[in-house]
Amino acid sequence: MANGIIVIDKPAGWTSMDVCAKIRGVLHERRVGHAGTLDPMATGVLPVFVGRATRAVEFAAEGGKEYVAGLRLGVVTNTQDTSGTVLEERPVAVDRSALEAALAPFRGDILQIPPMYSAIKRDGKKLYELARKGQEVEREPRPVTIYGLDVVEQTGPADYLLRVKCSKGTYVRTLCHDIGQALGCGGCMYSLRRTEAAGFSLDQAVTLDALLSAEDPQSLLLPVDAYFAGRPILILKAGPEKKVRNGTAVSVPQAADGQYRVYGESGAFLALGQVSGGRLTTIKSFFEV
């Protein structure tokens, strides 16, 4: 059975669920989930969790992300990116230095109003479903954190690439829209490439073509404990291992308080565990049952 993580360099035109469906077919495993949706126009890092590894998705989805986004000034669309309908075109009298100066208020903790073209639900309906019917509803601002925001380069008279490091829940196209509004000329996103997500980067990613052409696709899977590589290791002897497998807390007087990757004597990854006061409890188990 396939178990592990594969970091896909998602191509443009695919939804994140399209990628998961393809991986289900290739690996013959129905348990497949991803950490962090990418819109169809976006490319880049999409961590996909397979088999028992899907139990780690809830942890991976919480992490920060990094993007390289294309900002086009002077254009406002209904989707806040170039896939939508143009609502306004305005002259642009902004140079790189003016843009860089305008970024300062968008760093740190900010509030974003989610776009209408998003999967957020209102009264059981996704906002994009309402938007496609020409409806617009009030959305509450949401807190997000922008850890880093810088101009990478200017790629055209009114086009720039921005590097964005941000928290979960950030809409980069909304960030581009809001920057354009702050500059007075409007703006939208014309490209998006995710370079980091869930602790994984582009240099760990494989293309869908590489996956589809691999003689042994399972060999491309990273072990699930790779996601928890930042935690220290705790190895249990046979007796305590049996208790952990049965969901029972065990005594580990030698271990300091904190989270651990928990292994059995054979080297099998058992669980993500929490030690408190010399007692180990399971946060999430990963052994096959």
Q: Which two tokens stand for residue 166?
A: 């941000």
What pLDDT score does 18 carry?
A: 95
Q: What is the pLDDT of residues 198-229, one digit of tens each?
A: 989 999 999 999 999 999 999 999 999 988 98
Q: What is the pLDDT of residues 143-198, one digit of tens each?
A: 999 999 999 999 999 999 999 999 998 999 999 999 999 999 999 999 999 999 99
What pLDDT score does 195 carry?
A: 97
- Percent of the chain scoring above 70 in pLDDT: 99
CB within 8 A of 52, min separation 6: which ones?
Answer: 3, 31, 224, 286, 287, 288
Q: What is the mean pLDDT of residues 30-49?
A: 94
The region, left, alpha or beta by phi > 0 then psi within -120 to 50, assigned to residue 184 is left
Asked whether the predicted pLDDT for residue 137 surpasses 80, the reply is no
In the set 9, 39, 81, 159, the catalytic residue is 39
Q: Which residues pair with 144 in a beta bridge?
A: 110
Asked whether the predicted pLDDT for residue 269 surpasses 80, the reply is yes
Please tell me what DSSP assigns to residue 86: E
Q: Which two tokens stand for residue 20?
A: 């998961």
Q: What is the pLDDT of residues 65-77, one digit of tens each?
A: 999 999 999 999 9
Q: What is the mean pLDDT of residues 34-62?
A: 92
Distances (CA, A) of 117 to 85, 112, 128, 186: 12, 14, 4, 18
Smallest Cα–Cα separation from 98: which of 80, 81, 73?
Answer: 73
What pLDDT score does 271 carry?
A: 96
Type and span of the H or E element at 23 = helix 16-27
209 is a catalytic site residue: no
pLDDT band at 107 (very low <50, low <70, confident <90, very high): very high
> How many beta carbons lie within 10 A of that of residue 252, not counting itself?
17
The alpha carbon dihedral of 226, 228, 231, 237 has a sign of: negative
Q: How far apart are CA 59 and CA 135, in angstroms?
A: 35
**pTM of the predicted structure, to 2 decimals:** 0.89
